[in-house]
Amino acid sequence: MTRTTFLPFAKPTITDKELNEVRDCLESGWLTTGPRVEKFEAALKAYFGRDHVMTVSSATAGLHLALLTLNLQPGDEVITTAMTFVATLNTIEHAGGRPVLVDIDPNTYNMDLNQVERAITPRTKAIMPVHYAGAPVDLDDLYALADKHNLTVIEDCAHAIGTECKGKRLGSTGHIQVFSFHPNKNMTTGEGGCIVSHTKEALDHMKIFRFHGISKDSFNRFAKDGSPFYDVVAPGFKYNMMDIQAALGIHQLAALDGFIDRRNVLARQYHAAFKDWDVFTLPQGPDFDHLHAWHLYIPLLNADKSPVSRDTLLARIKDYNIGLGFHYQACHLFTYYKNAYGYKEGDFPHAENFAQRAMSLPLFPTMTDADQQDVIDALQIILKGS
Ligand SMILES: Cc1ncc(COP(=O)(O)O)c(C=O)c1O
């Protein structure tokens, strides 16, 4: 097999609708937060069926703002998973908290809720699950645990716009959810994200910190009937989304259900192709009713059955013009977190095992069946020699 073009593991779907909207936005003369952000936020509210939704410049910014609502004091703890992108932990640090890590369930790659319960102390203020690769954490069990211990839940939904848990869309229920619109995610605004909040108070707090602590929308400040004067009520950040980004988001959100459908078709096709391969352990969703967003399709390599190591495979498949992703290294083994909290190898064996064996296969809505066959064929040659 010879591909003439490189197949990346992820690629955003950009149509004429996005291109025209961005052009219109640029020609309108209004580039930063303005009418398109307002329109996008209204569409997000309708999508989630929630009143308190706002856009941000990234999910990282959104997680930071969400954590600030907890008013964490030195020594306060937030429980999260060792297997995530490091933004989940870093933002806990930025908000003044202490990340307390737990291991993953090796079947779902999501945080193990039994371990969460054991990690709760009098200093615990929140639980921060990650719906890994688009597979939901069990919201019933999660919120039962949070209610029992009077804890706030901040859901890192960076992978999971479009995911449903027992018939409920993530973001439609619960405390605070933060979504990412990075180009590799299920829909994109370039960089960007959004926050869904259960209370107006929490959203108002996040809104103030989103833009310099200024107590009103900058958009109104520059409008014909707006006033140029404002007050600053807190030392806020600059985490607002631009209209250029929202121009993408408006059309991406409208297309999202179709993106998730195609992701599911591709994931099912990978499952079917690999079902008898003993060299892989295939990803499975949780064993309750759910809609997986398949942000990532991550098989684990069984080293004892494979002629090559995972790292060699990641390198060698590039010879076939195919790129695999890798999500992620186990966070407790990063230098900062080892030094700050004394974490060490062996602390979270399932996360470590996952990090040694995981790879993200190409999966994005415009990937064709022929592209997918190229991936399967290249893996067949490297792993099975034919
Ligand atoms: C689990 C998780 N949380 C948070 C983020 C941060 O998202 P963003 O890039 O939008 O800041 C990412 C990004 O990859 C992620 O994977």
**What is the CA(177)–ligand 1 centre distance, in A?**
13
Q: Closest ligand 1 atom to the C-alpha of 130?
A: 1
Judge if the beta carbon of residue 158 lies within 6 A of ligand 1.
Answer: yes
Give 204-247 pLDDT, tens digit per residue: 999 999 999 998 765 566 667 777 788 899 999 999 999 999 99
- Summarize pLDDT for 149-182 with one digit per residue, the tens: 999 999 999 999 999 999 999 999 999 999 999 9
Task: Classify domain 16-254 by CATH number.
Answer: 3.40.640.10
Q: Which CATH number fits domain 256-384: 3.90.1150.10, 3.40.50.620, 3.40.718.10, 3.40.1710.10?
A: 3.90.1150.10
Query: What residues does CATH 3.40.640.10 cover in the chain?
Result: 16-254
pLDDT tens-place string over residues 22-41: 999 999 999 999 999 999 99
pLDDT at 252: 98
* pLDDT at residue 221 in the model: 63
Q: Tell me, using a 6 A CB cutoff, whether residue 161 lines ligand 1.
A: no
Residue 215 is predicted with a pLDDT of 80
**How far is it, in rounded angstroms, from Cα 240 to Cα 6?**
34
CA of 153 to the centre of ligand 1 (A): 17
Q: Mean pLDDT across the stretch 51-71? A: 98
Atom of ligand 1 nearest to the CA of 61: 11
Query: Which residues of the chain are in CATH 3.90.1150.10 domains?
Result: 256-384
> Can you tell me which atom of ligand 1 is nearest the CA of 192?
10
pLDDT(187) > 60: yes
pLDDT of residue 222: 64
Q: Is the CB of 77 under 6 A from ligand 1?
A: no
Would you state the pLDDT for residue 217?
65
What confidence tens digit (pLDDT) does each residue in 338-377 have?
Answer: 999 999 999 999 999 999 999 999 999 999 999 999 999 9
Q: How far is the CA of 124 from the centre of ligand 1 (A)?
A: 23
Could you give the residue numbers annotated as active site? 185
Q: Which residue's CA is the closest to the ligand 1 atom numbered 8?
A: 59
Q: Please tell me the distance from the alpha carbon of residue 287 to that of residue 277, in angstroms, as a whole number.
A: 22
pLDDT (average), residues 52-56: 98
Which tens digit of pLDDT belongs to each residue from 308-338?
Answer: 999 999 999 999 999 999 999 999 999 999 9
Distance 161 CA to ligand 1 centre (A): 12
pTM: 0.97
Mean pLDDT of the chain: 96
Closest ligand 1 atom, CA of 185?
A: 14
Best mutation site among 84, 85, 156 for ligand 1, i.e. most ligand atoms within 8 A of its Cβ? 85
User: In this model, does residue 62 exceed pLDDT 80?
Assistant: yes
pLDDT at 2: 78
Q: Which of 159, 178, 182, 189 to mutate to test the pocket of ligand 1 (most atoms within 8 A of CB)?
A: 182
